[in-house]
Amino acid sequence: MRWFERLRKAWPRFFEAADYEAASASRRTTGWTPPASDINTLVFRSAETLRARSRDMVRRNPWATNALDAFVGNCIGTGIKPQSLHPDAATKEQIQALWLRWTDEADAAGLTDFYGLQAMACRSVMEAGECFIRLRPRLPKDGLSVPLQLQLLEAEHLPSSETRKLENGNYTRAGIEFNGIGKRVAYHLYREHPGDTSHPLASTELARVPAESVLHLFRPLRPGQLRGQPWLTHVLIKLHELDQYDDAELVRKKTAAMFAGFITKNAPQDSLLGETSQDATGVALAGLEPGTLQVLLPGEDVTFSSPADVGASYETFMRVQLRSIAAGMGITYEQLTGDLTGVNYSSIRAGLLEFRRRCEQFQHQVIVFQMCRPIWSAWLQVAILSGALPQAAADVPGAKWIPPGFAWVDPLKDIKAQVMAVRAGFKSRAEVVSEQGYDAEAIDEEIAADNARADSLGLEYDSDARSGGAPPSNENDNDNPT
């Protein structure tokens, strides 16, 4: 180690103890020189490669596909739905009825409804890092309940390389145009997907679309971030190599299952072990039957293949790697793989609680804030201008967005806990209903209608809360000692 001592004497300041061990220059940190670039430089430089690899992994890797399906199913489900905050009951009912009708007309492609667009946008944000939604005004002759539709565009429509200063004094960064104070004023989008080589009108022409007509959905990770990165970024290499390892293990098992024997003859013309046939290439074949005792001549030998079994630790290794991938994706191992081995009520609930906090964060900070609220505002404005809603609908333009409720492993315990919280005054019944993904006012109207119908028919049910009876207890409840 003389060379190391000579190096230390030549550059003593280089080897001085750092204030933090992670900032020290030692053997453990040799070669660790990460760039100090800002998030935008890093994303712009690698965005196209990351997106292509992420999409490729989702196309052909079952774990990646299942991870996206699990998150979208929990985050969006049947849709994050609005509840108008207008105080007038009649106006509110009119707004809600018109919105319900418009949701079936929202998709400019006509493939799904508004809540299907939510799911598609959420999946695009995960797979590609971002998604764009164009607000497309329509003509009265199009026959829509509200002359407005939505067009989803993939991240590739906005070129990461489009960065320059414009003649009007503005500038573009990664396809986004900013004015002098750094406000987004437009997006420079490809008219068609640049990767769609089968389109008869395919071109690389860019169209300048005003920012008020485009919604940009992505999960910002650092201050000042302009564009998103795929959620698979942290696990792409691991997924790629684990997929190769799993395929290699499958081939190894297949090879090991191919039982074969090899016979050494004294002379090529000898007939051994009942040899009676040849394969397509003329190679002699011999067979064995159960109970056969074959006598070999001196010098003859029979050797059977015995491939080495190196997969004894396969299951443990795969489980550890998949847990790492699940952590990098922000979901649980059980959701990624469907493997519920060793899971009990407490462990699965603890894992789901953390996962659902992440879902709620993404729901409110990205889907609701970046997508739902701007669309509701634009829809309400167009509905009033087109005469579909009265001007009074603009008095209170806001809406409460209700995400789908989460179903628990043991709903009985959770319902009892909710009842206790309401009776103790810790929660309102409306809040409990909203947590289940329903509109409290709509539930009340349905209950009132049920009660009126039952009274008119002279029916009585144990479930009628007006009787004042306590809810039935479950004698077999696991929480009760036996």
Q: Does residue 443 lie in a domain region?
A: yes
Percent above pLDDT 90 for the chain: 50
Q: Does residue 385 lie in a domain region?
A: yes
Residues 111 and 169 placed together within one structural domain of the fold: yes
Close Cβ partners of 113 (under 8 Å, ≥ 6 residues apart): 103, 104, 106, 107
| Ordered DSSP codes for 123-164 | HHHHHHSEEEEEEEE--GGG--SSSEEEEEE-GGGS-TT--E
Q: Does residue 71 lie in a domain region?
A: yes
81-116, pLDDT tens digit by residue?
999 999 998 999 999 999 999 999 999 999 999 999
Nearest of 134, 221, 135, 207 to residue 177 by alpha carbon: 207
CA distance 339 to 57: 21
CA distance 319 to 312: 13
**Predicted confidence band at 9 (pLDDT cuts at 50, 70, 90)?**
low
**Predicted confidence band at 363 (pLDDT cuts at 50, 70, 90)?**
very high
Q: What angle, rounded to 10 degrees, do the helices at 39-60 and 62-75 form?
A: 110
pLDDT at 37 over 50: yes
Q: Which of 140-149, 312-321, 368-377, 382-391 has the lowest mean pLDDT?
A: 312-321
Whether residue 121 contacts residue 216, with contact meaning beta carbons closer than 8 Å, is answered with no
- Which residue did the predictor score with more confidence, 27 or 7? 27
Q: Does residue 99 lie in a domain region?
A: yes
Position 266 scores a pLDDT of 64
Structure tokens at 21: 């061990």
Nearest of 235, 217, 403 to residue 326 by alpha carbon: 235
Residue that finishes a domain, picked among 377, 398, 419: 398
Residue that finishes a domain, picked among 376, 398, 420: 398
Structure tokens at 255: 């090879």
Residues 385 and 419 placed together within one structural domain of the fold: no
Nearest of 130, 133, 138, 177 to residue 153 by alpha carbon: 133
* Residue type present at position 188: H
CA distance 150 to 369: 17
CA distance 399 to 377: 9
Residues 125 and 244 placed together within one structural domain of the fold: yes
pLDDT at 65 over 90: yes
Position 16 scores a pLDDT of 58
Residues 348 and 440 placed together within one structural domain of the fold: no
Dihedral of CA atoms 464, 465, 468, 471 in degrees, nearest 10, equals 90
Q: Does residue 182 lie in a domain region?
A: yes
**Cα dihedral sign for 419, 422, 426, 428?**
positive
| Mean pLDDT, residues 281-287 taken together | 57
277-278 and 284-285 beta bridge pairing = antiparallel
| Mean pLDDT, residues 424-440 taken together | 80
Close Cβ partners of 417 (under 8 Å, ≥ 6 residues apart): none
Residues 370 and 444 placed together within one structural domain of the fold: no
- Which residue did the predictor score with more confidence, 302 or 279? 302
Nearest of 40, 237, 231 to residue 122 by alpha carbon: 231
Instruction: Of 225-239, 258-272, 416-430, give the range with the top mean pLDDT.
Output: 225-239
Q: Does residue 28 lie in a domain region?
A: no
| Radius of gyration from C-alpha coordinates of the chain | 33
pLDDT at 426 over 90: no
Q: Does residue 282 lie in a domain region?
A: no
Position 479 scores a pLDDT of 45
Residues 321 and 454 placed together within one structural domain of the fold: no
| Mean pLDDT, residues 225-248 taken together | 93
Q: Please report the beta strands in 274-416, taking only residues with DSSP state E, as ranges in sequence order.
A: 277-278, 284-285, 301-304, 399-402
Residues 46 and 122 placed together within one structural domain of the fold: yes
Q: Which of 87-91, 134-138, 147-151 has the lowest mean pLDDT?
A: 87-91
Residues 392 and 349 placed together within one structural domain of the fold: yes
Residues 55 and 169 placed together within one structural domain of the fold: yes
pLDDT at 350 over 90: no
pLDDT at 145 over 50: yes
Q: Which of 178-192, 228-242, 257-271 has the lowest mean pLDDT?
A: 257-271
Residues 392 and 434 placed together within one structural domain of the fold: no
Position 481 scores a pLDDT of 39
162 is in which domain, residue-wise?
Answer: 40-257+311-398
Question: Which H helix or E strand runs over 442?
Answer: helix 440-456
Q: Does residue 51 lie in a domain region?
A: yes
pTM of this structure: 0.80
285-337, pLDDT tens digit by residue?
556 566 655 666 676 777 776 766 666 788 889 999 999 999 998 899 999 99
Counting DSSP H helices and E strands in the chain, the numbers are 13, 14
Residues 339 and 236 placed together within one structural domain of the fold: yes
106-115, pLDDT tens digit by residue?
999 999 999 9
CA distance 464 to 457: 14
Residues 390 and 414 placed together within one structural domain of the fold: no
Domain count, the chain: 2
